């Protein structure tokens, strides 16, 4: 039995004047990602674009040139695939940070990425864009937001709901920050029937996990249209971006 991927992606400006989200869906590279930019009208859009372009460029160079040089050392405790995504995210940070000047001085970006290596998926993220997996009918969030609200909650603090508190969208880690942010990484085995969702917070702020799980049962093309459409119809003001990747099996 051989596993293969079926995917779809969609981004919507929401009720914002411009779209500061970006994404990539590159099955030949085994790379899928979303990025949510910040830093003003122009800055956010530039930051998310730089981040995604850096990821794609690094992965493409790795595939086309097996002797390419990595600008950062490897972590011997991590697999090759984990190191590759870790380095790619650091490069994305460096690209954003290097362009921070003038009107772009305050820009930054989140990123949530998934790299496929054989029958494994490596998940990496910085910020509050998320990766979910639907497996056997159960939806699991595979990332934990790098936000003040999420970190206080994880520490056991009594905090109001994200919608009710005044710091629900305060990011504690983002590409472009002065101190190079490290991506949180995890490796997951792929199983036939798995469905992965990569999304920006414009989606999750308007759709609950129960409804997300229901919509991920659709084929990827239908799923992304339904997810974005329902988030917008629910009053979503933020940009809304999602990538859906379904793991399928075919007999050899």
pLDDT digits (tens, 9 = 90+) for 180-236: 668 999 999 999 999 999 999 999 999 999 999 999 999 999 999 999 999 999 999
User: What mean pLDDT is predicted for residues 68-79?
Assistant: 85
Task: At 227, list the tokens.
Answer: 């997810």
What would the pLDDT profile of 21-55 be if each residue is shown by its tens digit? 999 999 999 999 999 999 876 799 999 999 999 99
Residue 169 has pLDDT above 80, yes or no: no
Q: Which residues pair with 121 in a beta bridge?
A: 116, 188
Q: What percent of the chain has pLDDT over 90?
A: 77
pLDDT at 250: 86
Please count the residues of the chain.
252
State the CB neighbour count (10 A cutoff) for residue 125.
27
Domain limits for position 150: 2-250
User: What mean pLDDT is predicted for residues 51-69?
Assistant: 88
CATH assignment of the domain containing 148: 3.60.40.10
pLDDT band at 6 (very low <50, low <70, confident <90, very high): very high
Task: At 110, list the tokens.
Answer: 């989140």
| CA–CA separation, 71 and 88 (whole Å) | 10
pLDDT at 42: 79
Cβ neighbours for 18, distance < 8 A, ≥ 6 positions apart: 41, 45
pLDDT at 138: 98
| CA–CA separation, 51 and 42 (whole Å) | 15
What would the pLDDT profile of 151-168 be if each residue is shown by its tens digit? 777 777 776 666 666 666
pLDDT at 163: 66
Residue 87 has pLDDT above 80, yes or no: yes
pLDDT at 196: 98
* Count of the separate structural domains present in the chain: 1
User: What mean pLDDT is predicted for residues 93-114?
Assistant: 95
pTM of the model: 0.94
The SS3 assignment for 48 reads: helix
Mean pLDDT for the chain?
Answer: 92
Considering only residues 73 and 119, tell me which one the structure prediction assigns the higher pLDDT.
Answer: 119
């Amino acid at each position: 039995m051989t596993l293969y991927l079926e995917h779809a992606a969609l981004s919507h400006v929401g009720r914002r004047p411009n779209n500061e989200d970006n994404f990539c869906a590159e099955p030949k590279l085994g790379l899928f990602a979303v990025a949510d930019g910040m830093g003003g009208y122009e800055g956010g859009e530039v930051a998310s674009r730089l981040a995604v372009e850096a990821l794609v460029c690094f992965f493409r160079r790795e595939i086309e040139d097996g002797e390419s040089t990595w600008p950062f050392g490897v972590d011997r405790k991590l697999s090759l695939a984990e190191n590759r995504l870790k380095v790619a995210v650091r490069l994305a940070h460096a690209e954003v940070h290097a362009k921070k000047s003038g009107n772009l001085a305050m820009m930054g970006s989140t990123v949530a990425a998934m790299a496929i290596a054989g029958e494994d998926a490596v998940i990496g993220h910085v910020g509050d864009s998320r990766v979910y997996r639907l497996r056997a009918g159960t939806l699991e969030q595979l990332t934990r937001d790098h936000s003040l609200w999420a970190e206080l909650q994880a520490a056991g603090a009594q905090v109001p709901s994200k919608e009710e508190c005044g710091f629900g969208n305060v990011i504690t880690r983002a590409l472009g920050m002065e101190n190079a942010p490290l991506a949180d990484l995890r490796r997951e085995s792929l199983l036939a029937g798995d469905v992965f969702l990569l999304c920006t917070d414009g989606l999750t702020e308007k759709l609950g996990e129960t409804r997300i799980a229901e919509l991920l049962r659709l084929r990827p093309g239908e799923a992304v249209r339904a997810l974005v459409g329902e988030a917008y119809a629910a009053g979503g003001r933020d940009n809304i971006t999602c990538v859906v990747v379904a793991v399928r099996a075919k007999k050899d």
